[in-house]
């Protein structure tokens, strides 16, 4: 009989490129976090497949296709399903973590879809759009 691979928190962190703190204090606190299947030393062991399913369903954000030459407000980007709230875009803009708007006519910040897509590509947790 072949055992399914099992992972403990440090291995999960290494495999997914996050800190152990993210695994134990953020992911493991999520209601959908899988039940452990055993213990190894002081760590709980989880089925690798269950962890992969959790990351796919609750951590990774599916890339959306935006119209490259269309202008979007922060709210329109949120509504398009990019996985980021409009308030986060505004806060990140203030902190220099989101590109300056391509257009500010009428006092509204707007970005071309191509600009937003490029910004999203540099954020952690986004899958590449399917070709």
**Co-location of 44 and 78 in the same domain:** no
Say how many C-beta atoms besides its own lie within 10 A of residue 1's C-beta. 2
Helix (H, G, I), strand (E, B) or coil at 6: strand
- Output the pLDDT for position 57: 81
Q: How many domains does one find in the chain? A: 2
**Co-location of 54 and 13 in the same domain:** yes
**Co-location of 10 and 54 in the same domain:** yes
- Output the pLDDT for position 51: 95
Cα separation, 73 vs 33, in Å, equals 34
Question: Is 45 inside a domain boundary?
Answer: yes
Q: How confident is the model at residue 4 (pLDDT cuts 50, 70, 90)?
A: low
State pLDDT tens for residues 15-64.
Answer: 988 899 999 999 999 999 999 999 999 999 999 999 999 988 888 766 78
Question: Is 129 inside a domain boundary?
Answer: no
- Which is it for strands 6-7 and 43-47: parallel, antiparallel or unpaired? antiparallel
Question: Is 108 inside a domain boundary?
Answer: yes
Question: Is 127 inside a domain boundary?
Answer: no
pTM of the model: 0.57
Helix (H, G, I), strand (E, B) or coil at 39: strand
Domain CATH for 17: 1.10.1660
Question: Is 130 inside a domain boundary?
Answer: no
Cα separation, 92 vs 100, in Å, equals 10
Question: Is 1 inside a domain boundary?
Answer: no
Instruction: Domain of residue 11: give its range.
Output: 6-58
State pLDDT tens for residues 88-108.
Answer: 999 999 999 999 999 999 999
């Amino acid at each position: 009989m072949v055992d399914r691979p099992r992972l403990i928190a440090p291995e999960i962190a290494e495999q997914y490129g996050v800190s152990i703190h993210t695994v134990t204090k953020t992911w493991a606190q999520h209601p959908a976090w899988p039940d452990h299947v055993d213990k190894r030393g002081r760590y709980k062991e989880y089925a690798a497949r269950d962890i992969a399913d959790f990351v796919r369903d609750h951590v990774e954000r599916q890339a959306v296709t935006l119209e490259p030459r269309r202008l979007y407000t922060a709210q329109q980007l949120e509504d398009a399903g990019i996985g980021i709230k409009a308030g986060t875009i505004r806060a990140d803009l203030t902190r220099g973590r989101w590109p300056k708007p391509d257009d500010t006519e009428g006092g509204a910040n707007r970005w071309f879809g191509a600009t937003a897509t490029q910004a999203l590509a540099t954020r952690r947790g986004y899958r590449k759009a399917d070709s």
